[in-house]
Amino acid sequence: MTFATRITYVKSLIFVFLTIIFAACHSDKSISKLAQKHFEKGEYELAIRELSILKNKGIEVEQTHFLLGESYRLSNRITQSLPYYQVAKSKGFADKMLPFHMAMAAKSMGNYELTKEYLTEFLRSKPNRAMQIKSEIELENLSEIPKLLSKSSPVSLIPLQGNTAQTEFDAKKIGNELVYTSSSKPGIYKNNGLPFLGIVKAPLKSESEIGKAEMLSPNLFKENANDGSPAFTKDGKTVVFARGNTGKSKDPSPDVDLYISTKNGTTWSEPERIAISDSLAWDGSPAYSVDERTLYFSSNRRGGKGGLDLYRVPIDNSGRFGRPINLGSVINTPGDEIFPFVSANGKLYFSSNGHPSIGGLDLFVASRNENEIVVEHLGVPMNSIGDDFAISLSDSTQGYLSSNRPGGKGDDDIYYFKSSGAEDRWWSSDPAPMVDTTVIAKRVNYNLQVKVIDALGKALEAVKVSIRKNGQSAEAEKSNSNGLLEIIPLEENDELAFKLEKEDYLTARSSFSMEGKEIPKSLLKKDVTDTTYVVQIQMDRPEIGKEISKLFEVNSIYYDLDKADIRPDAAEELDKIVQFLTDNPQMNLELGAHTDARASAAYNLKLSQRRAESAVKYIIQRGVSNDRIKPKGYGETQLINECADGVDCPEDMHQQNRRTEFKIIKINAE
């Protein structure tokens, strides 16, 4: 079980399942409310304890077994999930994703025939397009497994002496010490029942044996939170690592973010969250490039190829991070790509379950051969039917990897590997012919068709459309009588921005990104495939009382409990409002702020007014005249759910009420 999957893997799809499951189960005869509560909060180890009692009593057999399977899968013990899924299925439990989860569990056990059977059944259910593609790739990858199993790595591989019954992974040799991630903190992470993860160091007795481990630094230790996967600069004075998932429902940052700390003498500074982190996504497993001008990391942020993707972000001379860039569809797949590592000769090592793999995560290396990137599976024994991940090279002949393969001492273990002296193909300085490459010499011609419409879907003619492609301005166009622009040719990773202007209409902005839209190479059937994406951009007439969120892509902003501060995620939305007001100088807006119901009505009214004024201040500081925006506090008078006084609600439902919304209150003559 990897740091990434252990800390998260709770994707939005799972919450859809929960809504369906628990709505069906809510009755006096339903499964234990305590088990449900633990499951909803992601406390899977506690849920397993409660559900096991119900299982032994034969209560709600199909639902109990399904949730046991889910609890094991979501706490990354997928091998243990299959027997429970099978019972739930045999009892008639209906869940469209069940065959897919069973297929992945069977694959983790090396049962490829059963994997094929379940994937075929899942595809017959006609899943959504994303899951269809993912399943088709999994099916196609199964045919590659015999070749992967017959391919041997030119290394000897042994377990690290020092592994324990807990979790150790992502080891890096720093001087005469091994720094790694270990489940060694005092508190218990309720997701999997193991101690919280922390960054530790241990003296190297030899390359394959360590002494007693100790905390790397008190300043890099956060109680009741998971810390791990550190990436160090060559001088050892800067570290970037992942932190998150306290396991508490009130945690304001329930996912995982990247943090940075610097060393002064022997003391590490208080870690600071890096701005490239996405507050709504999992960001982890960082790695520096050889010249330390690029940081690589893995993320499941919106706009990727699916699952966890690898990204790179440039670092300037002042140490500031630029904009994250997806590494593209040759490396990233609809599955998960994680734990990048860049060797001294510039090759990118990573783990993936989206490329053809033996089991779960397998190890791969990507290198550039002239203008083409080739990806190679590292073979066995580097890979196994378990999760194999977090490779790091100490030098050109040896290094470490992590795995939860059968026969290990603990949950995840660290393994030491050394070149056997035979063809060191995948770490040599020159790219060798790739035997098991995922690159296919087929291409796609991508195009974009833009259509401009009004609120009723009618084509709008003579709309001036300014276009920026990858930051470069192109000549403005006007829509024709059918609302269409000229076809725009695209390349992978292209990003386009549009500004639309027409008299009597609000200026509109839109964008289009190729991220996540490339067709996986393994699914291409022809040498050349032509694909045209069609995007409709709506323009609206201004209307007093209209909420701005219904006119263009902006969300309400949210606040922490009893706070009026502008959070980073709120600042992004307020910047959109600044742009809207700049584009439409005739508009005046009201910023209406709200609270949840967990204080007196009088207090909440004052708090909401402070929130509205805080948002207005942010906008004014960015150059908008204060007579164009009006702050208005509504307190708890306009709750958007049932979480009124005296109603027991989870934190995320209270959060929905702590918001500021935007609406037009005046249209000035131009």
pLDDT digits (tens, 9 = 90+) for 215-238: 999 989 888 889 999 999 999 899
> In terms of DSSP bridges, do strands 629-633 and 587-593 run parallel, antiparallel, or are they unpaired?
parallel
CA-to-CA dists, residue 164 to 274, 282, 400, 501, 592, angstroms: 32, 27, 16, 64, 55
Pairing mode, strands 659-667 and 557-558 = antiparallel
- Does some domain include residue 437? no
Q: Which residue has the tokens 């690029």?
A: 294
The pLDDT, as a whole number, for residue 613 is 96
Pairing relation of β-strands 413-419 and 472-478? unpaired
Spatial separation of the C-alpha atoms in residues 341 and 294, rounded to whole Å: 12
SS3 sequence of 418-446: EECCCCCHHHCCCCCCCCCECCCCCEEEE
Residue 629 falls inside a structural domain? yes
Domain end, chosen from 397, 427, 457, is at 427
Contacts of 117 (CB under 8 A, 6+ apart): 103
Whether residue 116 sits in one domain with residue 198: no
Average predicted confidence (pLDDT) for the chain? 86
Judge whether 287 lies within some domain.
yes
- Domain's final residue, options 508, 538, 568: 538
What is the rounded CA–CA span in Å between residue 161 and residue 632? 64
Is residue 438 a part of any domain in this protein?
Answer: no
Same domain (yes/no): 417, 346:
yes
Per-residue confidence (pLDDT) for residue 390, from 0 to 100: 96
433 cis-preceded (ω within 30 degrees of 0): no
Q: Are residues 49 and 195 in the same domain?
A: no
Average pLDDT of the segment spanning 556-583: 91
Are 88 and 144 members of one domain?
Answer: yes
Task: Determine the structural domain holding residue 480 and report its residue range.
Answer: 443-538
- Note whether 160 and 167 are within 8 A (CB): no
**Same domain for 195 and 170:** yes
**Location of structure tokens 């940081």:** 295
Task: Give residue 17's pLDDT.
Answer: 40
Rounded to whole angstroms, how far apart are CA atoms 177 and 12?
A: 40
Identify the pLDDT of residue 302: 83
The closest alpha carbon to 390, from 182, 190, 189, belongs to: 182
Question: What pLDDT digit, counting tens, does each position of 452-466 carry?
Answer: 999 899 999 999 999
pLDDT band at 15 (very low <50, low <70, confident <90, very high): very low
Q: Does residue 486 sit within a domain?
A: yes
What's the CA gap between 512 and 190, in Å, rounded?
Answer: 40
Q: How confident is the model at residue 548 (pLDDT cuts 50, 70, 90)?
A: confident
- Co-location of 146 and 166 in the same domain: no
Compute and round to an integer the Cα radius of gyration of the chain.
27
Domain match, 263 and 394 both: yes
Whole-model pTM over 0.75 = no
Residue 21: pLDDT band by 50, 70, 90 thresholds?
Answer: very low
At residue 11, does pLDDT exceed 60? no
**CB-based contact 55:83 (threshold 8 Å):** no
Domain count, the chain: 4
**Section 155-170 average pLDDT:** 93
Cα of first residue to Cα of last residue in the chain, in angstroms, is: 61
- When pLDDT is cut at 50, 70 and 90, the band that residue 133 belongs to is confident
The strand pairing partners of 258, in sequence order, are: 242
275 pLDDT exceeds 80?
yes
The answer on pLDDT for 321 being more than 70 is yes
In a domain, 543, yes or no: no
Summarised one tens digit per residue, pLDDT across range 409-453 is: 878 999 999 987 644 455 544 443 333 333 444 678 899 999 999
What pLDDT score does 440 carry? Answer: 40
**Pairing outcome for strands 238-244 and 256-264:** antiparallel
The torsion angles phi and psi of 154, rounded to 5 degrees, stand at: -80, 55
Residue bearing tokens 């700390």: 261
Residue 398, domain member (yes or no): yes
**Band of residue 26 on the pLDDT scale cut at 50, 70, 90:** very low
pLDDT at position 370 is 66
With cut-offs at 50, 70 and 90, classify the pLDDT of residue 286: very high
> Looking at the predicted structure, is the pLDDT value of residue 327 above 50?
yes
- Per-residue model confidence (pLDDT) at position 122: 93
Instruction: Name the least confident of 43-52, 240-249, 503-512.
Output: 240-249
CATH of the domain at 634: 3.30.1330.60
pLDDT digits (tens, 9 = 90+) for 615-666: 999 999 999 999 999 999 999 999 999 999 888 888 888 999 999 999 999 9
pLDDT tens digits along 342-394: 998 889 999 999 899 998 899 999 987 766 788 999 999 999 999 999 999 99
CATH code, domain carrying 460: 2.60.40.10
For residues 595-606, average pLDDT: 94
- Could you say which of 108, 123, 150 is where a domain stops? 150
Is residue 146 located within the same domain as residue 161? no
Nearest to 181 by CA among 385, 392, 19: 392
pLDDT at 631: 96
The answer to whether residues 225 and 181 touch, using CB atoms and an 8 Å cutoff, is no
Token look-up 């396991």 returns: 247
Q: What percent of the chain has pLDDT over 90?
A: 55
The more confidently predicted of residues 309 and 36 is 309
- Tokens representing 104 are 């992945």
Domain assignment present for 593: yes
Whether 96 has a pLDDT exceeding 50, the answer reads yes
Are residues 15 and 110 located together in one domain of the fold? yes
The verdict on 93 and 163 lying in the same domain is no
Question: Quick count: other Cβ atoms within 10 Å of Cβ 90?
Answer: 11
Residues 262 and 336 in one domain: yes
Rounded to whole angstroms, the Cα distance separating 42 from 145 reads 34
- Both tokens of 204, joined, read 């190297």
Query: In the block, which residue shows the tokens 């060559």?
Result: 234
Cα–Cα distance measured from residue 351 to residue 363, given in angstroms and rounded to the nearest whole number: 5
CATH classification of the domain holding 213? 2.115.10.20
Place of tokens 């992978």: 492
| Residue 267: CB atoms within 10 Å | 11
Cα 377–Cα 381–Cα 385 angle in degrees, nearest 5: 75
259-263, 295-299, 405-409, range with the lowest pLDDT: 405-409
Average pLDDT over residues 292-319: 90
Model confidence at 488: pLDDT above 70: yes
Q: Are residues 192 and 123 in the same domain?
A: no
Contact 577, 586 (CB under 8 A): no
